[in-house]
Chain A
Amino acid sequence: MLKEETLKQQSLLANYCRTGVEPVLLNAKQENLHHYRRLVFNIACDTLETAYPITYSFLSEKDWDELTYQFFSEHKCKTTQVWKMPLEFYEYCLEKNIASKLKMPFLNDLLYFEWLELEVHTMPDINYPQVKEIGSWLNDEIAINPEYKLVKFEYPVHTTAVTSDIESKKGNYFFLIYREKETGRVQFVDLSMLYVFVIENIVNGKLLINIINEANTLFNINDVEVLKKHILIFIEDLKQRQFIIGFKK
């Protein structure tokens, strides 16, 4: 059992590294304490700057520094894996409504976009389904790359250079993010709501012919042949991009 005083000394030093509140420590070289805060902060800041390069370059140096200092002071990092700490930063920004405080309504989307790229790149491998090469797009179950996410944003941070102009482009933006099996590279595909519907239903095991018929009604298209033609082009494109990987066995 640690004595109260030992625990307190350790807590004071750790708290100083996080908050900058300089303690008076027993038998310590006070003049060297700042190195601990500097070293701790270097790791945290490097990790955040690497994870969020666009946000880092968009924010002023002052805003970025204040935000990272505030995060590290107020938030107790939970993960043992420092490369996952940026997710806690994103969640902290959501919880504290930093987007509103910085008058950057697109900040949440931007941070999530940058985090997603890292997350999809590093997420644990998922077993691929058994597939066959030959089949019918319309009448066989389509197999997809399981390492993906479908995402909705309010701001087009995934397609547009992030400038202050982006605020005027509020809307509904969908995209697919997935990891190529062979290279491990992360790819993005901009999607309409119709194509999100198609992918979601493929994932749920529906046949494309049925998905097209449902979409025809749901989206009030009323020309099933035209819709079929467009969706088949979309499917072929996803095959080329290695998101669709064949037909389920």
Chain B
Amino acid sequence: MNHQIGIGFRKDFAEEFLNGNELNPAFIELAPENWIGMGGYWKKILNQAAEKYPITCHGLSLSIGSPDELDVDFVKQVKQFLNDYQIKIYSEHLSYSKCDNAHLYDLLPIPFREDAIKHIVKRIKQVQDILEMPLVIENVSYYTPLAAEMKEHEFISAIVKESGCKLLLDVNNVFVNAFNHNYNAKDFLKALPLSEVAYIHIAGHEQVSESLIIDTHGQAVIDPVFELFDFATSLIKPVPVLLERDFNIPELTELQDELNRLDKIVATKWQTKKNYA
């Protein structure tokens, strides 16, 4: 693998992956919440993975868009984990998963509003101050807007600009949202602060009705998403690229085929062999 193409590290295939040679990513990504404070068998697996691959972290529970107060203790736990495993990229979702002091464990859409921007920027800065590194924020899939007063790209751009955070460009999410909300995916991409992209995600999804796609991470990446990824790589500098697969895990060779296809695309756009992670 010439370029930085990684795979989401899942317990479902951890052992097979670490003991075999069918899947050869340049790095792995994991959710710190799934590993913090864990000992025994899974700690051994994590240590084994960390010896073999560089790690990036993609969080689930920061809930940066929550109306609630930021969970500072949790951010400190994440910081410790990042330090323990020398992790240089910590990304999270531009969404909320906690409200009224109750965790929901899934990603809800934030109102695209000025006051939400100010609120989130303040929280991102707070997180960055604790972590002493930029937070990387992902554009999320959403199935309904919520009390929106501006366009999604305006919302994302303002947050990135005002907070100084980096952008995780999830290409599949752009595709899903463009379909769900009837906009042009390429125009949307061009309107994002692409110079701040530090990381890319790509994944499969499921169309559940004529007008709705759900971002499941349970299927192979489809051709139009690969094509959108191809287009995106022509607009941005080389960054690590991550394939997400959370459900319906196929043979690892199939995942490797997807990594190879991503690698082939970036090889034509990002010529030099470079260690980005």
Contact = CB atoms under 8 A, between A and B. Distances in A.
Interface of A: 1-3, 5-7, 9-11, 13-15, 17-18, 25-30, 32-33, 35-36, 39-40, 43-44, 47, 75-83, 85, 121-126, 147, 179, 183-185
B261 interface: no
A40 B42 CA distance: 25
A76 B101 contact: yes
B104 interface: yes
B55 interface: no
B148 interface: yes
A78 B103 contact: yes
A27 B147 CA distance: 5
A5 B115 CA distance: 10
Contact of A122 (B39, B66, B109, B212): B39
Contact of B99 (A14, A43, A79, A123): A14
A10 B105 contact: no
A184 B39 CA distance: 9
Nearest to A28: B144
Contacts of A32: 143-144, 212
A44 B105 contact: yes
Interface in B94-131: 96, 98-106, 108-111, 113, 115-116, 118-119
15 contacts: A1-B115, A14-B98, A15-B100, A17-B108, A25-B144, A25-B146, A28-B147, A29-B143, A30-B144, A76-B101, A78-B101, A80-B61, A81-B34, A81-B61, A121-B41
Interface string B36-54: 1111111110000000000
B193 interface: no
A78 B61 CA distance: 11
Contact of A6 (B36, B38, B44, B147): B147
B163 to A, nearest CB: 16
Given A77-B104, A147-B40, 14 more contacts: A6-B115, A7-B67, A11-B99, A13-B108, A14-B99, A14-B102, A26-B147, A36-B143, A43-B106, A47-B105, A75-B102, A80-B74, A122-B38, A185-B41
Interface of B: 33-34, 36-44, 60-61, 65-67, 71, 74, 96, 98-106, 108-111, 113, 115-116, 118-119, 143-148, 208, 212, 214
Contacts, number: 145
B62 to A, nearest CB: 8
Q: Which 6 A-B pairs have the closest CB atoms?
A: A184-B41, A14-B99, A76-B102, A125-B39, A26-B147, A80-B61
Contacts of A33: 144
B143 A3 contact: no
A33 B148 CA distance: 15
Given A81-B34, A122-B42, A124-B37, A6 B105 contact: no
A76 B147 contact: no
B119 A36 contact: no
Given A9-B111, A35-B143, A122-B42, A43 B67 contact: no
Contacts of A121: 40-41
Contacts of A35: 143, 208, 212, 214
B176 to A, nearest CB: 12
Contact of B33 (A9, A10, A81): A81
A24 to B, nearest CB: 11
Residue of A6, A30, A125 ringed by the most chain B CB atoms within 10 A: A6
Nearest to B11: A83
Contacts of B66: 10
Given A10-B108, A18-B104, A125 B43 contact: yes
**Max chain A Cβ within 10 angstroms of own Cβ: one of B61, B103, B145:** B103
Contact of A28 (B71, B96, B103, B146): B146
A81 B147 CA distance: 29
B34 A83 contact: yes
Given A6-B111, A32-B144, A18 B40 contact: no
B71 to A, nearest CB: 7
Nearest to A77: B103
Nearest to B37: A124
Contacts of B43: 124-125
Given A76-B100, A80-B33, A10 B110 contact: yes
A17 B148 contact: no
Of B38, B67, B146, most buried by chain A (CB within 10 Å of CB) is B146
